[in-house]
Amino acid sequence: MNGDRERYHHHHDLRHFLFHDELSPLFSQKPAVDVGVANAGDDMHGGFNPEAAALPLLGFNELLQSSMMDYGLLGKGLEVTADSGSSLNTHSGGGGGVLTTVLTPNSSISPSLAEAAGAEGDADQQQKEQQAAEGDEIVLGDKSKTANMIKAKKKGEKRKMEPRYAFMTKSDVENLEDGYRWRKYGQKAVKNSPYPRNYYRCTTQKCLVKKRVERSYEDPKIVVTTYEGKHTHQIPATTIRGRTQVLLSPPPLPAPTSIYHEFMMQQVPHPHIPSSRSSSSQQHIMIPNTMINLPPPLHYYFHDHYD
């Protein structure tokens, strides 16, 4: 909405959202959370996932490529009530202690998560979309969209999970500009939350990356952005309506005090305020799947600090 966009330009009330260096061990060490990750990736057996186990030893790019985060878990994390956050201190106290959390066994992770770790997820979805586009077998007399939708999901194939990674961003702005061009294709109300979830798709042809953006209902200033899939292209030279942006040199974020910031800058699209000079109003934290699995809601963790 244009009005919103206008409004966004005036909101940069993000004074001091701290990066937590105490969380650094999440990225730099190989913690016990591997167990949880393994379970997450192989939930049907609770078996060991060597790929997940290797995560801490890989670069963060590899992490992004190979790790998966189930959005359901994310949602679960967000739905956890504040009282569960009481265990927070226990987790945050000992650095790696955070990582001892084990994924709940009944989490809604797709059985094919492990496969999604590779490129197969993309290929699969591409194939499905292509099938849908062909539309050579429309049976139903309904609207074509219905037929396509059915076609796309025929064979009873379960949706394969794309590699996912998420950010929690303390921001008044939901529409974080990350250098890519997104088209909104849906919006849904989030259960138990007054804030809707927005669905975006990369507008670049053949690129099937999607992202979901929603606010934490507990802390409306926390925006959770979940990316799904991998871009098959470079960051476009132009983003918003012809506005050319220097995408390879994002505006500096304030006080890059932790490795999170470095990760963000190096490995993922660089979110910044849309077409604004007030680039200092947002800070982002990447949430590895390991953190998403924490019992205490992540945003609650942040909640303790930013005010």
Partner DNA sequence: CGTGTTTGACCCGCGC
Partner DNA sequence: GCGCGGGTCAAACACG
Give the contact letters, 213-252, x = binds to DNA (CB under 7 A), - = no.
----------------------------x-----------
Pick between residue 205 and residue 249 the one whose CB is nearest to DNA. 205
User: Which residues have C-beta within 8 Å of that of residue 18, sequence separation ≥ 6?
Assistant: 257, 283, 305, 306
* Residue of 153, 235, 254, 256 that binds DNA (CB under 7 A): 153
Does residue 62 touch DNA according to CB under 7 A?
Answer: no
Give me the least distance between CB of 210 and DNA, in Å please. 6
Pick between residue 15 and residue 183 the one whose CB is nearest to DNA. 183
* Residue of 16, 183, 233, 305 that binds DNA (CB under 7 A): 183
Pick between residue 22 and residue 174 the one whose CB is nearest to DNA. 174
Give the contact letters, 109-138, x = binds to DNA (CB under 7 A), - = no.
--------------------x--x------
Interface residues with DNA (CB under 7 A)?
1-4, 71-72, 75, 129, 132, 140, 142-146, 148-150, 152-154, 156, 158-159, 175, 181-191, 197-201, 203, 210, 212, 241
